[in-house]
Every structure is written in structure tokens, then in C-alpha cells.
Chain A
Amino acid sequence: MEIIDLLGFGDKGWGVLILTGMALTLCVTLASLAIGAVIGAIVAAAKLSDRWWSRMLGTAYTTVFRGVPELLIIYLIYFGGSSAVTAIGQAIGIEGFLGMPSFLAGALAVGLISGAYQAEVYRGAYRAIPVGEIEAAASIGMPPLRSLRRIILPQILRFAIPGLNNVWQLSLKDSALISVTGLAELMRTTQVAAGSTRQYFLFYIVGGVLYLVLTSFSERVFNSAERKSNKSMPRGMGQV
């Protein structure tokens, strides 16, 4: 009975808080995926460029953000960002420590990391497009930007889906690290609930199950997207 009360939605229950935390985890991961998509596209383009300095910058980015611990990046963005905010505060006459919004800092930090992984996914996807198909577009006089939109991007997206599924799952788990900034996402809420009720087993297991719910649900979404995009592939079903 006690368990139901603890997890329930009553006065003593943690149900609402935990579900809110789960929603926040989903939101912060979605935000970081979006940030990472923009960064990933730019970095992938840089790495595919025929200018050496551009390739070098792209490689530097992916090396740094894949090679440094996620937690360090989160600290760097949150505390580094906060001291920048504090400095700005002092300049305009506000005394004391000002924190960077933890949602923003978290989404940005995980997004920066996700961007490095997404860059590799997009680069690989671009390389999977037969050069001849891009030449065929050029040969009918299709301008480069239109060829990018009509021929290249749809195929990048198609080849990128399995890799993006991976990156998404990584980011979802990285988002747990944002709990160190005090953002009340799923990890943080579970931790607080476990600590204040001393029901460690109960709440950490519930937290774990909820992470699994998120990852297995998103796995389904990605798989169905992959199936849809595969209808034009050699092993697909043939007709629409």
C-alpha cells in the first residue's frame, strides 16, 4: 500500500513530479537533438568541404566533443555560462551570482555533443549517395541548391535514420547528467524522491523503467521511419 501512496498522485505521492521530470527529460533531449542537428549539418559540411582549413575545423570539433567527458562539457557550459551571465549582471549593476538557466545550459551542452556525433552520421550518409546521381542532376541543368534540396538532402535523411536513432539514445542518457545543474528532469527527480523517502531501490528502479519506456518508444518511432524510407531500397517491398 505504501508503495502505491509513494508513487501515486496523492498528497504524499511522487507521481506527478516524476512524470513531469520524464516530460522534461524528453523536452531537453528534443531541444538538444535540434541544436545538434544544426551543428551537425554545419560540421558535416565543413568536413566534406574541399578547403583544408574547413576540414581541419570540422575535425577539431568532432575530436573535442566526442573525446571529452560529457559531464565536463555540462559543467563547462553551466558554470562557464553562469560566470559569463554574472559578469554581465555586474556590468549592469546586479550584484551576486547569477545562474544560467539550467534547461538552456543542459540542452546546449548535450546539443554540442550530439552535434559532433550527428556530424559523423550526416557525413557518412552523404558519402553513401552515389556520385553519379548528383552528376545526373547537374547534367540536366539543375542548380546546386535545388539539387541539394531535391536529390541530396532526402537521401542523406534516409541514410541517416539508423545513425540518428543511436545518437538520440545517447543524448537521452546524456540528459541524465544535466541533473547536476539542478534541472528537475527524470534523473534529478528520482534522486530527490529516493533521498527524501529513503526508498532508494523503489525510485531508482522506477526511474530506470521510465528511461527504458522513453528509449523503447523512440526506438519504435525510428524503426517505423526507417521502414518507410526503405521502400525504395533494393531489399524493400517494391511498390509503394
Chain B
Amino acid sequence: MSATPRLSVRNIRKSFGTHEVLRGISLDAHDGDVISVLGASGSGKSTFLRCINLLETADDGDIVVNGEEIAMKTTPRGRGAASRKQLDRIRSELGMVFQSFNLWSHMTILENIIEGPVQVQKRPRADCVAEAEALLEKVGIADRKDYYPAHLSGGQKQRAAIARSLAMHPKVILFDEPTSALDPELVGEVLHVMRDLAAEKMTMLVVTHEMGFARNVSNRVIFMRDGQIDCDGPPQDMFGGKGSPHFRQFIRHMETEHHAA
């Protein structure tokens, strides 16, 4: 890998009260990387993802997107972005897909998708509508564009949320357990869309419990434990027995759970 990383995270630390959730995490994501972040619940992986676009503010460390560092400042009220303008611009380049979808419930699916392009990027509405329709076609819910989120299934909502994120033309998309809130039979349709994105060389950082996705779709797997990266590597190495003892124990545990379910 040459060039500047699309996303570079350097030594992120975060505590809630006295509990240190992230204890120095660093990571580079290059163009087209699909990185799966695994770990038991409570290992800090969601917090890590939320620190990247500053939904949580890390106590220490830097976030660099396409070579541009998010400027931080510390005030008596705590640490935060030094420039709201810069933060908003960088956030618009980082897509995020949430576990609970978080579609805006007072807007139709189409309105949800054009909201960012029209209101934040100030692009012409007609262009955005045309693009939104194409995106909905791509994720397979073109016929639901005039529905409100409340009238869609979980899988459809998450596909709409992915389309909403794509409409901003993000450089990287952060997925925060995108299939964890779904009924088992709906997981497949969302993974299918994510697999297509990976094939198109979208840069993705995916916090997940889907071992199949981590093994077969991502090109790198990171295992988090106690707020640190315990081990990481290509999936064939990690799942081929080269992971740390903790990781091997983790996948054994996940597999038994899978069989039990």
C-alpha cells in the first residue's frame, strides 16, 4: 500500500469515569480496505468506531482522514473539535451505519436519502433525487421510496440507511454492528449489500459479530480485547490458527454459540 491512508487513527484513548474503555488504539485503512473489528461485548469496539467521527470524543489521540487531521482543543468543559466547520466537513466524508438504523422517522425513505446531499452538500435537488433512486435500486428497495421508515422491515431499513450513507459519496464507511438488531432471516440481505460494496472497493470499517463476513469478505481482521488491539491480520491467517490464544478462544466460543442457536 502506497499513498496516504483514507483513514488513520493514532493512539486513541477513552475513559468513562474511572473505566478505561480504549487504551491506545491505532489503525490505518487504505483505499479499498475492508476491516472487520471483532471482540466480545464490552471490549470497546463500538466506542472505538464512535470516536472516529467524534460521536464520542476521545481523551487522547488523533484522527486523520485523507491526510487531514481533525484539529482538537481542550477547554474546561472537556476535549472537543477545535473547528466545528472542519469537523462537519470531515464527518460528511465519513459515512456511518448504525445498529439501530437511525433513519429520520418523519421523512420518507427518499427524503432520508436526499437530506444530506441537499442540506449539507447543497447539491441540486433533482440530481440528488435521481441518484437516490438509483441507490435504492442498487440496495433493492426502489419500491419503498415513498414509505416512512416505520413501515419497513429491519433489513429494508438498514439497506435504506446504507443508501443514505452512500448518497454522501463517503471516502470511508463505518458500520457499527449493522446486523445485530436484525431478525436472523434478514441478516443475509444486508450482508449481501455490504459484500457488493466491498467488491466495488469501498473502504469499510465494520464492527460485527458476523464471523462469515469477517472471514470471507474483509481483507483484514482486528480483534479487540480490554480496550486494546489484541491481534490483527488477514482473515486467512487469523482464522487459520495464527491469531492470539484469546482470539482462538473467542472464535471457538462464537462457533459453539452459533451451533447452539
Contact = CB atoms under 8 A, between A and B. Distances in A.
Interface of A: 130, 132-133, 135-144, 146, 150-151, 154-155, 158, 231-234, 236, 238-240
Interface stretch (B88-96, B133-141, B213-221, B245-253): B88-96
Nearest to B96: A139
B236 interface: no
A232 B55 contact: no
19 contacts: A130-B105, A132-B101, A133-B102, A133-B104, A133-B105, A140-B91, A140-B95, A140-B120, A141-B87, A141-B116, A141-B120, A142-B119, A144-B84, A150-B119, A231-B148, A232-B150, A238-B147, A239-B146, A239-B147
B58 interface: no
A234 B150 CA distance: 5
Interface in B106-124: 106-108, 115-116, 119-120
B98 A136 contact: yes
Interface string B36-53: 000000000000000001
A146 B119 contact: yes
B229 to A, nearest CB: 24
Nearest to B174: A139
Contacts of A154: 106
A168 B149 CA distance: 31
Provide the main secondary structure of the chain A interface. Answer: helix
B238 interface: no
B148 A138 contact: no
Contacts of A234: 150-151
B89 A141 contact: yes
Contacts of B150: 232-234, 236
A132 B149 CA distance: 14
Nearest to A132: B102
Contacts of B151: 234, 236, 238
Given A135-B98, A233-B150, A238-B148, A141 B106 contact: no
A143 B88 contact: yes
Contacts of B105: 130, 133, 155, 232-233
A142 B104 CA distance: 13
Contacts of A232: 105-108, 148-150
A8 to B, nearest CB: 50
Contacts of A236: 148, 150-151
Nearest to A140: B116
B104 A141 contact: no
Given A136-B102, A155-B105, A238-B151, A142 B55 contact: no
Contacts of B88: 141-143
Given A135-B102, A239-B147, A141 B119 contact: no
Nearest to B88: A141
Given A133-B104, A140-B168, A236-B148, 10 more contacts: A133-B102, A133-B105, A135-B55, A139-B55, A140-B91, A140-B95, A140-B120, A142-B116, A142-B119, A155-B105
B153 to A, nearest CB: 13
A141 B90 contact: yes
